[in-house]
Every structure is written in C-alpha cells, then in structure tokens.
Amino acid sequence: MKYIISIILILTAPSFAKDYTKNQNTVKFINMMVKEYDFKRSYLEKLFSDVTVQKTPLRLISRKPTKKPSKELQKKYPKYGAWDRYVKYKVTKKRTQQGISFIKKHKSTFKKVEKLYGVPSEYIAAIIGIESVYGGNVGKYPIFDTLTTLSFEKNRRNKFFKSELKKFILLSYRQKFNPKNVKGSYAGAIGLAQFMPSNYEAYGVDFNKDGKISLQNPHDAIASVASYLKQNGWRKNEPVATRVSYNGTRFKAYKTGYNKKYNRSQLRGIAPKYGKWNYNDKVRLIKLNRKDYDELWYAAKNFYVITRYNQSAYYAMSVHQLAKKIKKAI
C-alpha cells in the first residue's frame, strides 16, 4: 500500500515555485539581456526570482518523439487507422460550423486580408480552428514560467526555448505588457494563431492599427496567419491538394511525404480521382493511413506552405479538409 501511495504522490506532485536567479545558466541569460538589450538587472531578477516550475510542459517536451498512436487513442479508436484517429479529432462538424460563424463574424477583416495577401479565408479560418478552436482554447500555461522552465530545466531543446524566452521578454517590452500575465500552450505558443514569440516579429501584423500586435485579437490573428502563409510562399489562386487513385489497397510504389516532389508524368498508374486537376507544377504524394487501405493525394506547393506552419502532413491535410468543408458550407 505504501508503494502505491508513493507512486500516486509522484505522479500528482504539484508544480512548485523556484528562484531561478540561483541558477547559473539563468544568471548568464540575465547578464546577456542586460548587456545586449539594456534591460535593468533588478527588473529581470524580480521576474526570475519567483517562477512556478511547469512540470507538465517539461514532461511533454522531454518525451521521446514517436510515430505510434498513444495507447489512449488506440483504445478509444481501435478500428481506425492513424489518419482516421487524427482526422476524427481535428475535422469535426462542430469545428466546421464554428469556422463558418468565425468568418461571418469577422467578414470585413477576412475580405480585406484575403485581398491583401491572396490567401483564401477558409484556410486562414481552418488554421485558427485547429490551433485554438477559434480562440476557445489558447492554452492554460503561463508563458513566462513555461519558457523559463523549458529554458533552464534539462531537456533536448534548451537552446530553442532560451531563444524563445528572449524573444518573449523583448516582445513584452515593445508591446508594453506584463510577461507574467500571458497564458498559452505547453510549448509557449500564444493566441488564436498559436505563434511562438519569435514569429511575432517575423509574421505578426497589427491589422486593427492599435499600435501593438496581439494574437489574442482576432483581427491581428487573421492577418498574421495570412502573412505567415504568404511569406512562406503561398500562391494565389492555386489549388492545395486532390485525392488520386492507384492500384491496390496499400501504397508503396513511390516515396511519399511533403519533401519529395515529382513530375506527374513520372507517376505511372496514379491519376486524379475526380476528373482533371488544374495544376502544372511538380507534386508531392501524401499517404493517409486508414484501417483497410492507404488514401493517396497529390499535394501542390500550397500544401507544402501549410506544413511550414506545422511540419506534419496530417496537420496540413486536416487544414485542407476543414477549409474545404467551411468553403462548401458558406
């Protein structure tokens, strides 16, 4: 019984406060911020002196990456393949309806943004829908404490999170907000569009002209997603993907994935499933694993652009399919 109780206590141990000014690496970080960006040492020491260690984000970031579905997902959806499990959660009737409402609510902004950046409204809405459920789930973790934890507690991505922590502190100074008051994802992503702090400077847009970029604001978030896609190579009036047919039920004839490109003339035995596909550039082959067969798609350059937002073919395909459902229903 004692053994069982001790395990429960370890698994449910609460987060705790920590003075990171006692951490040698944090001191080096503070010194750098004072020297390179002219921050007051006393201000930074106050921030870092009382940090709640974020144990859940640290556990999630520290786990080894795996392509296998979790035991929880396998138990919940035992009859489905990997794509079936993924899309069942990401592309839902409710999320489609919410996307329609979101576009209608911000119709004027979407219209202006689409004209300015050339990115269709339904794709912008689909990304925001999948990232944060249109603002309904922007994350519950304190960003400053989370980035501090991930920067200075041992994990394989310390260097990356130190850079993001630096960007976040600089962002809070420029945008004049208290870094302790912002919540987001377990990895430090913020707002409706779930941008990491480094993406604010590169892609963030003050679309409502209030003097600051805020991804908690839907107008700025909509424009910032479009800016991200445009700067990563989105092509106006070009398709994203189309399903194709092939012989058999499991596809192994050619290498699949968004990083491998083909001339369509190379791909024997493969053709668009629903008539002619108006796209003349090289294509990628995207394979979606289903329970009894592999679903195969041609992916265009714009599909690849979506993977710059999240480097997963399944993510990009869920954005595409949600966007198509939203577009069809509007």
Note if the pTM is more than 0.85.
yes
Write down the pLDDT at residue 15.
66
Catalytic residue among 114, 131, 153, 164: 131
Q: Please report the pLDDT score of residue 77 as a whole number.
A: 47
Q: Where in the chain is the domain with CATH 1.10.530.10?
A: 241-329
Helix (H) / strand (E) element for 290: namely none
Partners of 285 in the beta sheet?
257, 298
Q: 194: buried, middle or exposed (CB in 10 Å: 19+, 13-18, 0-12)?
A: buried
> Is there a contact between 168 and 37 (Cβ–Cβ < 8 Å)?
no
Q: What is the pLDDT of residue 14?
A: 59
Question: What does the alpha-carbon distance between residue 289 and residue 295 come to, in Å, rounded to a whole number?
Answer: 6
Q: What per-residue confidence (pLDDT) applies to 137?
A: 96
Beta bridge partners of 141: 184
The count of C-alpha atoms lying within 13 angstroms of the C-alpha of 112, restricted to the half-sphere facing its C-beta, is 11
131 is catalytic: yes
State how far the Cα of 257 lies from the Cα of 36, in Å rounded to an integer.
42
Residue 16's pLDDT is what?
80
Domain 17-60+138-231 -> CATH class: mainly alpha
Tell me if 121 sits within 8 A of 103, measured CB to CB.
yes
Contact status, residue 303 vs residue 319, Cβ threshold 8 Å? no
CATH topology of domain 241-329: Lysozyme (1.10.530)
In single-letter form, the type of residue at position 151 comes to S
The reported pLDDT for the residue numbered 69 is: 52
CA 310 and chain centroid, separation: 5
pLDDT at 3: 36
**CB-based burial label for 82 (10 Å; 0-12, 13-18, 19+):** middle
Intervals of the chain under pLDDT 50: 1-13, 77-79
